[in-house]
């Protein structure tokens, strides 16, 4: 029987996250897509106050801080925050940051009514027991008319890729295993469900992008490295067009509150 689902904390796994996700072509591609989407927002044309919920080691936050934005980075993992603080100090960007050790669920009460014009929540929902309520909680820390940048693990793409790979039994089991891989999201989400939760919370969709629409489907995985520049260009060219946008391993939504 599968263990009872619990919210995930990545203490003791921070270094493995850095090696297996952040320092790879898939991590590089994630950053490229998110930055392209975010920098298209008019509110980032001048210094902005940004809340990065579950921001981990701060890769994206560091890039925004380097552009002059003030970033409040939060995470449930003290280990992740320690790495983010060290990297901010090494880049001489500490003055651009505020750090808070907190799970998403208690963040609104800790902020005591403080709200932000831009809130980021990337690759967090799929690790939560109750992702639907998390959308409502994110709404509480977003200023009226503000923008939520939401990225989540796409169950539709996970199913598609496993059928392509021939993992039919895994698909029949709804992609559930007795012993989950520690760095694999424990609860992939259907795009239709997430969009419904966002609508219920009062959000309207500004844009949708797929993240890794082609990267993960390459027959020759070496091309992810040897021809990365060409691959990134194609991802950025087509990842807001259907059907490719819905085939991204992750889905990135920009939502207005």
Q: Given this model, what pLDDT does residue 21 score?
A: 53
Q: Is 252 annotated as a binding residue?
A: no
Q: Is 54 annotated as a binding residue?
A: yes
Q: Cα 164 vs. chain centroid, distance in angstroms?
A: 25
The answer on pLDDT for 2 being more than 60 is: no
CB under 8 Å to 155, separation ≥6 — which residues?
Answer: 175, 188, 189, 190, 191
Q: String of b and e for 88-107 (b: at least 16 CB within 10 Å)?
A: beeeebeebbebeebbbeeb
What's the predicted TM-score (pTM) here?
0.90
| Averaged pLDDT, 241-247 | 97
147-161, 166-180, 224-238: segment of lowest average pLDDT = 166-180
What is the C-alpha separation between 77 and 207, in angstroms, rounded?
30
Q: Is 216 annotated as a binding residue?
A: no
pLDDT band at 1 (very low <50, low <70, confident <90, very high): very low
pLDDT in tens, 36-95: 999 999 999 999 999 999 999 999 999 999 999 999 999 999 999 999 999 999 999 999
Domains of the chain: 14-256 (3.40.50.150)
């Amino acid at each position: 029987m599968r263990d009872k689902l619990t919210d995930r904390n990545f203490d003791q796994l921070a270094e493995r996250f850095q090696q297996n996700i952040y320092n790879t072509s898939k991590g590089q591609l994630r950053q490229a897509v998110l930055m392209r989407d975010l920098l298209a927002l008019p509110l980032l044309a001048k210094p902005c106050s940004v809340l990065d919920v579950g921001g981990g080691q701060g890769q994206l936050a560091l890039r925004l801080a380097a552009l002059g934005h003030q970033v409040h980075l939060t995470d449930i993992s003290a280990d992740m925050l320690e790495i983010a603080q060290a990297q901010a100090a090494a880049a001489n960007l500490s003055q651009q940051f505020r750090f808070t050790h907190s799970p998403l669920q208690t963040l609104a009460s800790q902020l005591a009514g403080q709200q932000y014009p831009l809130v980021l929540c990337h690759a967090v929902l799929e690790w939560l027991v109750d992702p639907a309520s998390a959308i409502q909680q994110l709404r509480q820390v977003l200023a009226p008319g503000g923008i939520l940048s939401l990225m989540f693990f796409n169950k539709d793409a996970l199913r598609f890729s496993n059928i392509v790979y021939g993992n039919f039994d895994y698909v029949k089991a709804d992609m559930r295993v007795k012993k989950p891989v520690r760095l694999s999201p424990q609860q992939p989400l259907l795009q239709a469900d997430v969009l419904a939760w966002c609508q219920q919370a009062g959000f309207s969709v500004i844009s949708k992008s797929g993240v890794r629409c082609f990267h993960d489907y390459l027959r020759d995985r070496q091309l992810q490295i040897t021809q990365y520049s060409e691959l990134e260009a194609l991802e950025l060219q087509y990842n807001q067009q259907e059907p490719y946008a819905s085939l991204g391993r992750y889905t990135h939504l920009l939502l207005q509150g």
